[in-house]
Structure 1
Amino acid sequence: MSTLEIKDLHVSVDTEDGAKEILKGVTLTIKGGETHAIMGPNGSGKSTLAYSIAGHPKYTVTAGTVTLDGEDVLAMSVDERARAGLFLAMQYPVEVPGVSVANFLRTAKTAIDGEAPKLRTWVKDVNTALEQLDLDASFSQRSVNEGFSGGEKKRHEIAQLELLDPTFAVLDETDSGLDIDALKTVSEGVNRFRAKEDRGVLLITHYTRILRYIQPDFVHVFVAGRIAEEGGPELAEQLEAEGYDKYTKVRA
């Protein structure tokens, strides 16, 4: 069974006033087949955790470890992390003008697998993934995220997830900006990924609505750069009813 293990992770970011610590000792273990939801107020460090796992250069790990099946993730470059089986669906996907979705996906798949996919099979796989996410086949000829609606950006991220097929997916507020139909479509894509053997998901969200479609095994409350409480799916319902006040007041 694959394991993504985060131990006592401290992360800082450079600001005009100097380095500011965002993550203050995060410990979390995700095993293949598990879905973990992280919920917390704005500014609590949820996205910092996601980007730190992926290797964003803006964030500096000052202490702690991240390992994937015992291998040191923090020693890997961003592309090495992807090849090792990590995937990040970004909260704000960036535009890549002049690069078509089709070329982007095939280049990414080739880089991860070490060889180009067979063209005839690949075109069929791409069209199937797009169709399942309510995206027309012509979508593959558009420039990556250029002029995409919020829903198209998020559905494209899940198409990447399905086609690249990592071991662990970190989904950073994949539900933000989605209407109910798009939310259901995206959730179905995530659930198709979860149904594969030994796949793990770290789902970052503010709201419980996506958790009605993607049932987590564990819920973690994230406040002020730390995990303040952990529990099962019932914890999400408690947060929906009561909010984060009892956690933020303790930290204040």
Structure 2
Amino acid sequence: MSTLEIRDLHVSVETKEGPKPILRGVDLTIDSGRTHAIMGPNGSGKSTLAYSLAGHPKYQVTSGSVSLDGADVLAMSVDERARAGMFLAMQYPVEVPGVSVSNFLRTAKTAIDGEAPALRTWIKDVKVAMEGLRMDSSFAERSVNEGFSGGEKKRHEILQMELLKPKMAILDETDSGLDVDALRIVSEGVNRVRSTGDVGVLLITHYTRILRYITPDFVHVFVDGRIAEEGGPELADRLESEGYDRYLTGATA
């Protein structure tokens, strides 16, 4: 079992007016086999949390700690975090012209494991994962995310997660831009990975629709850079009917 521990995390971002605090003391523990959903209004700091955990240089951790199985995540470079078992499915995946999906995936797997996967086994694993995500075999020869639809980009993110087998997967608004069919296919992929019990999932979303397919163990309401309330799946149902207004009353800018 792996454990990601976030303690009193404070993060700022540089603006023209100087550093602006975004996260204001986040405490969260995620264990393998558990799914935590973070929900909240726009601008509450959800994506800042995701990118801070992944090591994006735009975000400056001013205090607090993050550890994965006792190792200091904040002391690691981005690639070291990936090799340690951290994975980020981005809300807006970037295009990488000239690099095929097949080469990208095998290079990433090799970098994380420290050795190239056996070719015959790897080809089989990629084929099975792509079939599960309803991806045509020709997809593997396309340039990474170049000309991809929103659904194709998100399926590619989940394909990476299935093949790279991280300890902790951070899914930043994976449901954004997906139609109903794509949402179901992506959710099925996440559930396949979850069913192994080997990965902890931090699922960031505005809406409850993805939680109809991926049932979280815990729901955290994120407001003004901190967790305002925590509960089980029933909390998401309440948010759908009541919204975030009661949390925003009195929230500071």
TM superposition score category, shorter chain reference: over 0.9
Cα distance in 1, alignment partners of residues 28 and 250 from structure 2: 22
Equivalent residue letter for 2:224: A
Q: Note the alpha carbon deviations across 1:1-32, whole angstroms, 9 max, x for none.
A: 21100000000111111110100000000011
| Stretches of structure 1 lacking an aligned partner (at least 5 in a row) | none
* C-alpha deviation, 1:198, in angstroms: 3.0
Cα distance in 2, alignment partners of residues 217 and 121 from structure 1: 33
Equivalent residue letter for 1:229: E
Q: After the TM superposition, which parts of structure 1 deviate over 6 Å for at least 4 consecutive aligned residues?
A: none
Q: How does 1:91-106 map to 2 (within 5 A)?
A: 91-106=91-106
TM-score for the superposition, normalised by structure 1: 0.99
Match of 1:133 in 2: 133
Q: Note the alpha carbon deviations across 1:65-98, whole angstroms, 9 max, x for none.
A: 0000111000011111111111000000000000
Match of 1:108 in 2: 108
> Is 1:66–2:101 an aligned residue pair?
no
Percent identity reads 78
- Secondary structure (helix, strand or coil) at the match of 1:99 reads strand
* C-alpha deviation, 1:197, in angstroms: 2.7
- Secondary structure (helix, strand or coil) at the match of 1:105 reads helix
Cα distance in 1, alignment partners of residues 76 and 34 from structure 2: 24
- Secondary structure (helix, strand or coil) at the match of 2:135 reads coil
| Stretches of structure 2 lacking an aligned partner (at least 5 in a row) | none
CA 1:157–1:2 in 2, change beyond 3 Å: closer, same or farther? same
Cα distance in 1, alignment partners of residues 106 and 246 from structure 2: 47
Match of 1:120 in 2: 120
Equivalent residue letter for 1:50: A
Cα distance in 2, alignment partners of residues 137 and 124 from structure 1: 12
Deviates more, 1:220-229 or 1:123-132: 123-132
TM-score for the superposition, normalised by structure 2: 0.98
Q: Note the alpha carbon deviations across 1:105-164, whole angstroms, 9 max, x for none.
A: 000000000000111211121121111111101100000000000000000000000000
The alignment yields a C-alpha RMSD, in angstroms, of 0.7
Equivalent residue letter for 1:233: P
- Secondary structure (helix, strand or coil) at the match of 1:250 reads coil
Q: Note the alpha carbon deviations across 1:139-198, whole angstroms, 9 max, x for none.
A: 000000000000000000000000000011000000001111111100000001101133
Equivalent residue letter for 2:149: S
